[in-house]
Amino acid sequence: MAELVALYGEDGQPTGEVVERARMRAENLRHAATHVVVRSPSGLVYVHRRTDTKDVYPGRYDFTAGGVLQAGEDPLAAAVREVEEELGVAGVALVPLFEADYADAQTRFHAFCYSCTWAGPVRWQPEEVAWGEWVTPLRLLEMIGELPFMPDAVANLRPWLDSLA
């Protein structure tokens, strides 16, 4: 069965229109997505590389777990689902950071941004994550200048990340 996605307006609210995910991607329709920054108790940030099979920005590095909200899905529930699916981070309280917007030639969305603290093991979803490591916020900022990172995560969370370093 096809995954259904709610479309979002420029006001950051659902428009009431629901489309299949494949159509949303093919036509670059505005939707909603989540970003979750996973931090260790000592303040490190988990960085990972996306698999080469991802539909948007394959092989790019990222410092957030997250993804597209399904039709009718609450943003916090989506963030909880995504961070557990991608990194095996479960049973943690997500802290809302802010909302943001991102648009480029490949994707357009309203972002719900969160952070959490995780002391357990990270377990990658093989279809999503190819590599990962804990780094300091300062090292992450250096990496952003050295490696191809997800442009949406950098655009939406860079000011917040700067405040950590």
* 76 phi and psi angles, rounded to 5 deg: -65, -45
d(CA 113, CA 157) in angstroms, rounded, equals 8
pTM, full prediction? 0.95
Going residue by residue through the chain (165 aa), what tens digit of pLDDT does each one get? 889 999 999 999 999 999 999 999 999 999 999 999 999 999 999 999 999 999 889 999 999 999 999 999 999 999 999 999 999 999 999 999 999 999 999 999 999 999 999 999 999 999 999 999 999 999 999 999 999 999 999 999 999 999 987
Q: Hey, what CATH topology would domain 4-8+14-164 get? A: Nucleoside Triphosphate Pyrophosphohydrolase (3.90.79)
